[in-house]
Structure 1
Amino acid sequence: MASRDEVECWLTDMDGVLVHENQALPGAPELIRQWQDQGTEFLVLTNNSIFTPRDLSARLRWSGLEVPEERIWTSALATADFCRSQMPGGSAFVIGEAGMTTALHEAGFIMTETAPDYVVVGETRNYSFEAITKAVRLILGGARFIVTNPDATGPSAEGVLPATGAIAAMIEKATGKQPYVVGKPNPMMFRSAMNRIGAHSENTGMIGDRMDTDVQAGIEAGLHTVLVMTGISDQAEIDRYPFRPSEVISGVHELLHSEPYEVEI
């Protein structure tokens, strides 16, 4: 896609784009209202699979953002959507939280520890050696290995925490089986999100703060990519990669009733 004026639908990351440390970033509440007032189709995306869209909608409201739950697309929803497309009415053993189990239940899946079709590993703060051992044995017994997202660490007030990717790596090492990762940077997450709102790659934009997930997946999905500098990326981070976003802006406030333009990097 050549320019922003062709964008009719938007996908946007959450942390570092709309919110930071549970506070709305400048322009984020106004941008959500602008999209709603204009009837623009959009979804807020997150690789976090712990929470349901209803939970996340409430958390965003506390941050000062009014985002309806139907406008939130998580890696848990994308994973459940993928599993349903592959094996409707299947079964799964899940290492994860309510966001993941709820999504699979709503997709028609049965949760079981007996010969499941899938072992699904998502984000949780309650990993147990017993559950990891069971996952290893089920995968060795023939269950397909699915991971919601590849993030090896996550943030906390006390510092970094081991996240989905780290636990998945342990299971992969023990089984010799490589998981299929549904969330970013897999462009499948974007494609499932676009299917949700009836969007097409040629008229959809993606706003993110990470080159290695948001921008990479957006480019691979054929989207107009917008990198904001309110998250983890800086010019040095941009220079590390052989690809470039369509635009680089200081924050989402620049998208408010603005004229389209391109940024040279």
Structure 2
Amino acid sequence: MADRKPIESWLTDMDGVLIHEGVPIPGADAFLKKLRESGRPFLVLTNNSIYTARDLHARLRRMGLDVPVENIWTSALATAQFLDDQRPGGTAYVIGEAGLTTALHDIGYILTDHDPDFVILGETRTYSFEALTKAVRLINNGARFIATNPDNVGPSIEGDLPATGSVAALITAATGKKPYFVGKPNPLMMRAGLNAIGAHSETSAMIGDRMDTDVLAGLEAGMRTFLVLSGVTQPKNVDRYPFRPSQVVDSIADLVDLV
């Protein structure tokens, strides 16, 4: 990696890297502060589509972490941008929360259950059988199936929760149609984020706590990758993957001096 160009832009996952179960990880505040002071482009990414960027800005600020709204990139925003590029002014039946519906409204999409162009599945804590049944019928009738992210489980204080990937599998079993996942590890989300901040993959780095999403997405997008051991992936599991991060560190605190 000696011939790699200096890192000029940073992308970092949120859960497991900056925060854990609603508490800042030591070093996160110092890392973000140094990024802001350096003036280098950066984004905080999350596959969670529940919250808007403004919601996440407020939540992080209450934890003592200052991340400007424009530096937050969610799978909901990436999904909306993808749809705006693919089929501007389209229609969609949406299962999800405000983070997703707001992003779709902002690009001019009409949300409807009458012959929509797309069925879009996002994260929610209130999946209903009625909504899932409607999604299955619409997909069977020709609606295209999109999901914000492929994560099978999500974190909570009480333990893992079924997430978008698990519910998407249910719909796939009922329809025979697999969704197009926009969020990590799809490098589309990373490249769209890089474009949003005017960054180039050759001089950018991705920090994440998961080999199967963060590191894989960063790798496929052509970025340098840092795996932190403060989240999902444990040291004993790193070598089980057929790919490796550029560097493995204990936590975000170990990367402050690289900014």
Q: Same fold (TM over 0.5)?
A: yes
Q: Aligned-pair distance for 1:255?
A: 1.8
Change beyond 3 A, Cα 1:28–1:47: same
Instruction: Summarize deviations over 1:187-233 as a string: whole Å, max 9, x none.
Output: 11101111110111111100001101001111111000011111122
1:237 paired residue number: 237
2:209 paired residue number: 209
2:19 paired residue number: 19
Q: Point out where structure 2 has 5 or more consecutive residues left out of the alignment.
A: none
CA–CA separation in structure 2 for the residues paired with 1:71 and 1:130: 36
Q: Aligned-pair distance for 1:23?
A: 1.4
Instruction: Summarize deviations over 1:44-69 as a string: whole Å, max 9, x none.
Output: 00000000011111111121101111
Q: Aligned-pair distance for 1:156?
A: 2.3
Give the 5 Å matches for 1:92-241: 92-241=92-241
Q: Contact (CA 8 Å) 2:119, 2:144: kept in 1 or not?
A: yes
Counterpart AA for 2:85: S
TM-score (norm 2): 0.96
Counterpart AA for 1:206: M
CA–CA separation in structure 2 for the residues paired with 1:37 and 1:128: 45
Identity, % of aligned pairs?
A: 62
Q: Contact (CA 8 Å) 2:47, 2:184: kept in 1 or not?
A: yes
Counterpart AA for 1:132: L
Instruction: Summarize deviations over 1:126-165 as a string: whole Å, max 9, x none.
Output: 1111111111111111111000011111222332221111
1:37 paired residue number: 37
4+ residue stretches of structure 1 with deviation over 6 A? none
TM-score (norm 1): 0.94
Q: Aligned-pair distance for 1:3?
A: 6.5
Q: Contact (CA 8 Å) 1:2, 1:224: kept in 2 or not?
A: no
2:248 paired residue number: 248
Q: Aligned-pair distance for 1:104?
A: 0.6
Q: Contact (CA 8 Å) 2:147, 2:182: kept in 1 or not?
A: yes
1:89 paired residue number: 89
1:60 paired residue number: 60
Q: Aligned-pair distance for 1:4?
A: 7.0
1:262 paired residue number: none
Q: Contact (CA 8 Å) 1:3, 1:224: kept in 2 or not?
A: no
CA–CA separation in structure 2 for the residues paired with 1:224 and 1:103: 29
Counterpart AA for 1:225: T
CA–CA separation in structure 2 for the residues paired with 1:193 and 1:258: 21
CA–CA separation in structure 1 for the residues paired with 2:210 and 2:2: 21
Q: Contact (CA 8 Å) 1:23, 1:64: kept in 2 or not?
A: no
CA–CA separation in structure 2 for the residues paired with 1:225 and 1:232: 16
Q: Point out where structure 1 has 5 or more consecutive residues left out of the alignment.
A: 260-265
Q: Equivalent residue of 2:145, what SS?
A: strand
Counterpart AA for 2:83: C
Q: Equivalent residue of 1:257, what SS?
A: helix
CA–CA separation in structure 2 for the residues paired with 1:87 and 1:5: 37
Change beyond 3 A, Cα 1:4–1:14: farther
CA–CA separation in structure 1 for the residues paired with 2:8 and 2:137: 47
CA–CA separation in structure 2 for the residues paired with 1:257 and 1:3: 20
Aligned length: 259
CA–CA separation in structure 1 for the residues paired with 2:134 and 2:2: 49
Q: Contact (CA 8 Å) 2:60, 2:66: kept in 1 or not?
A: yes
Q: Contact (CA 8 Å) 2:11, 2:204: kept in 1 or not?
A: yes
- Choose 147-156 or 204-213, whichever is displaced more: 147-156
Q: Equivalent residue of 2:257, what SS?
A: coil
CA–CA separation in structure 2 for the residues paired with 1:165 and 1:195: 26
Q: Equivalent residue of 2:248, what SS?
A: strand
CA–CA separation in structure 1 for the residues paired with 2:2 and 2:45: 23
Counterpart AA for 1:191: R
